Amino acid sequence: MQLEGKTCVVTGAAGGIGRETVLEFCARGARVVAADLRPDGLEEVVALAVEKGGTAIASQMDVTVAAQVKNTIDLCEQTWGRVDVVFNNAGIFPGDDGSVLETSEETWAHVMDVNLKGVFLGCRYAVAAMLRCGGGSIINTASFVALMGAATSQSAYTASKGGVLSLTREIAVEYARKGIRANALCPGPVNTPLLAELLRDPEARQRRLVHIPVGRLAEAGEIARAVVFLASDDSSYVTGTEFTVDGGITAAYVTPES
């Protein structure tokens, strides 16, 4: 079991990648604080993890509020004595995030607040806790769009994920000799309820799929298993990377439609 005995915090735990990561972490022996703003989905994933024999507790929090983020990291440390892994995964992708001509200042500010400030706060309190226990692994959810332009307009989201990637590199370099690793997870499009809603238009869906060499969206569990690797000691020499799990998108120049 790759994560036996490790203590972990997962934000955005109520759905999609976060939910599957909580379950994967618990199945591999970790003790998990599952954190999310949404109480119903949060309680559901914790109950499911416990039902399957895992150890998980819930922390309802808003990633944009420093005191709430600190309380969640403190909960992990106070409950189990240390913080080994923090997966800063919470994020938003509003439907009105479009081109620079279309995206309102309000939408821009909201996306930056959640997607970038939220990761910054998660890193701030994760680093402090990990320094107290001699190291750990931070995984921040960026995106393949942090590495290349998106096929559809999403200026605030893309900019926020570029910021997450740069912040992650900075932390990796600064704290490497303190035993702290930091990596940016860069998924391709994932088959989650959020993306399903955004891609309910068949034309919009096809515009996405044509750029994916494997011809399909990722499943959340596939991304969660990549997070497990980055959280585990199997990746002990991996830090400062953009860990890309995108079905070949960033490797492709021209992708056949068949």
What is the set of active-site residues?
157
Q: Please, are residues 186 and 244 in contact by the beta-carbon 8 Å criterion?
A: yes
Give the Cα separation of 231 and 41 in Å (integer).
23
Give the Cα separation of 46 and 149 in Å (integer).
36
- As given in the structure block, the two tokens for residue 223 are 């991304």
Q: Which residues contact 123 (CB under 8 A, 6 or more apart)?
A: 86, 88, 138, 140, 167, 171, 182
Q: Residue 242: left (phi > 0), alpha (psi -120 to 50), or beta?
A: beta
One-character DSSP codes across 20-62:
HHHHHHHHTT-EEEEEES-HHHHHHHHHHHHHTT-EEEEEE--
Q: How many helices (H) and strands (E) does the chain have?
A: 9, 7
Residue given tokens 């200026």 in the structure block = 155
Give the Cα separation of 31 and 205 in Å (integer).
37
What are the strands, taking DSSP E only, across 172-212? 180-187
Give the Cα separation of 43 and 38 in Å (integer).
9
